[in-house]
Each structure stands twice: as C-alpha cells, then as structure tokens.
Amino acid sequence: MDYLRIQGPTKLQGTVVISGAKNAALPLITLALLAHNKVTMTNMPEVADIKTLLKLLQNLGASYNLENHTLTIDTSTVNHTMANYDIVKTMRASILVLGPLLARFGHCEVSLPGGCAIGQRPIDLHLKALEQMGAEITIHAGYVHAVAPEGLKGAHIVFDKITVTGTANIVMAAALAHGKTVIQNAAREPEVVQLCEILRDSGIDISGIGTSELVIIGTGGKTIDMVDFEVIPDRIEAGTYLCAAAITDSSITLENVRPDHLDAVTAKLEQMGCTFELGETTMTIHPAQKLKPVDIITQEYPAFPTDMQAQFMALAVRANGASTIEERLFENRFMHVSELQRLGAEIKLSGHTATVIGACELFGADVMATDLRASSALVLAGMAAEGTTNVHRIYHLDRGYENLEQKLRALGATIDRLKE
C-alpha cells in the first residue's frame, strides 16, 4: 500500500489545472447504457472510481478505450445485466447502472453497494421510485433483482430526501420509460444538471433542468443517439486546492474551473478573509491577512457541499477563533476529527456539530485516511504542520483525486508517494 509523506510547513505558488468531475463522469458513463451509438467523452478524470465503473460496464459486455482523458465507449454489445459484488463493493456509484439496465433490458441484478464508509446512504429512495414506475423489486442474497417485463412507465415521483444518485438513476430510467415522469425534490447539483443537458442534447424531451422539478418524456424503450461531450470540471477538487492555498497562506491560480459552481465555497473563504480574481474558467485566490473563523452548515447544492466539510475543518484549525461545522447530510462524516487531533488540532464533537478551536500549532505525525475527502483534509493539514506527516491508506484519495501529489509538488509542496 502507498502512503504520502509531507514536509511542512509549505508555501504554494503557480497554476493548477483542474480535472473533470468524477461525480459528473460516473452517471454520464452509465448513461451510455441508453445509447445505441459509440460515444466520446472528453475531460474524463482518470481516477480509480472511473476505472472501476468502466470495468463493470466491460463485464456487462461494453467496450471502451480511455487515454489522455478521452473515453470512447460502445454499449451496443452489452449482453449481461448482472452487476457483480466484486466490483460494486468497492464503489457505491455502481448502483447507477440499475436505472439504465432496467429501462433498456426490462430486468437486472445489481449487488448492494459499497464505497466510502460514510453513513448509510440508503438506496431505498431509488428502489421506491422504480417500483412507482412499474418495476418489481426483490432483494435476495445481497442483490437487488428488478424486473419490468412491460418496460418502465412514467410516474409522478416525490423524493422524501434530496438524493443525487437517486435523481440520476430515475432521470436515466425515465428517459427510456413509456410516457411522462415528473420528479419532485430532485437534486440540483451541477453533476445532475450536466446529465440532464446531455439527455436533452441527445433528443430527450426534458424540462426543469437545474430546478427541483424535472419533467421527462420517455422514448418508450427506444435507445438514444447520444451526443459527444466534455465532462464539467471537478468543483470539489477545485475547492480542495483553494483550501490548500488558504491553509498555506499562498496565492495560486486554478485553470479549467467553473467559478459559478463554487459560490458557496468561495463565499466561506471570503468570510475567512481570502480574496479572489475570477475569470470565465479561471480563478486566483489570495490568502487572508489574518484567517478568521467561520460557521458552516453542509446542505444540498447550491448550499455548502458536504464533500468540502473535511477540508474546511483543517483550514478552521488555523483560523483565529472558534469555528463551528454542522454536518446535515451524513451521520458518520467526522472520522477525520481524531486524525486531525493527532496533528495537534483542538476539535470538540457534539452530535452532528464540530467546534474547532482555532489557531492551533500543528505538528507532523502519522495519520490514516478514512474516506476520500477526509484524506485530502489530512494532506492539507500536513502542509500546514511543522515537520513530517505521513498519510496512510491513500487508496481513498486515489478514488477521487487525479495526480494529487504531482499537482501539489508542481505548486511547491514537498510531498512524495512511498510504499509502506
């Protein structure tokens, strides 16, 4: 297993190019299951989760080629409808094949998902919605068995809770269903918006894009002629580099970024005293003269993203005063607290809220990544700490960050990937 060794404290400078968004690319790859043509997707992040999903589609009978961030995929040859445990266990997003497979073939078996250890993330919302669309669903021996012999039918679906993968799954299922589907309380994340836009550009009648109510007229089982496209930039990777600049008192520039997807993040950094210069696809951050504390509540887009919570906790440790961070989306997402404490952070937990007592001196130590975003928070803290920090179990990091240590090294960090 690999680990990262970081020498701190660090100053960063220069430019970093942001990769395509993993969380946009995953549903877009499964969307190809609805297409009868070969599809080319550019700006594809080459991270572990993407490779895992492609392997799953290959097992189903698809063929693909991924090089230089360009993916060409052909699912016209898919002839299996069973997504095995071996692959699904490593990544929750595998559940995204459920809607498309069921819509296209009228039956499928998908193993119950794995992935990061953050909370329950129930897929009940997906299953309930598919049942409303006429699917018969049973769960047996760890697999979801779904059949819709007559095809799926349009339905009026109200999600009890906002769910990003749930919205994506049902949007894809509805695209091939018979008749009209209305989805209320739909997720509005940029990743869902791009999925809807690609469907619209591929000839599907879909309205309400970017709102909480989507209306989709299905093709009645006919596969689509899918357009080629470019994956949107990764707003979470971008936010992580902004935090890296803020925690090291540095100025850096981000390229291939969508500043409008980062409004909630930049607002909090501005409250902490950072300043920005924004272009159409670039942003430059200048550090705070004195880092101020901040109060954060994680919620669905366009509010503050849960996937940036850990990075801001690391940053708040350096602020002058007490910050509070309330996690409203996942019940198990403070596992990085004990690791940050090992570096010298003073953080108190009470239920879903963490209070960070700021301006702590951080000292390098051995720490362990527990999930994807927690691991990046430990890297950030390591860059601000005095001495050597070793971050172990970075396979979590590789699931969602492309070339993190190379990108940070190019900005001036002293960081190396080593074997345990």
What positions carry a catalytic annotation? 116
Beta strands in 188-294 (DSSP E): 205-207, 213-217, 229-230, 251-255, 275-278, 282-286
As given in the structure block, the two tokens for residue 379 are 């890297």
Minimal CA–CA distance to 415: which of 205, 244, 238, 178? 244
As given in the structure block, the two tokens for residue 163 are 């769910």
Minimal CA–CA distance to 41: which of 84, 75, 82? 75
Minimal CA–CA distance to 86: which of 56, 63, 58? 56
CA-to-CA separations, 204 to 106, 152, 199, 414, in angstroms, rounded: 20, 16, 5, 49
CA-to-CA separations, 165 to 141, 174, 219, in angstroms, rounded: 23, 14, 22
Per the listing, tokens 């890296």 go with 244
Please state, in angstroms and rounded to a whole number, the distance separating the CA atoms of residues 118 and 199: 30
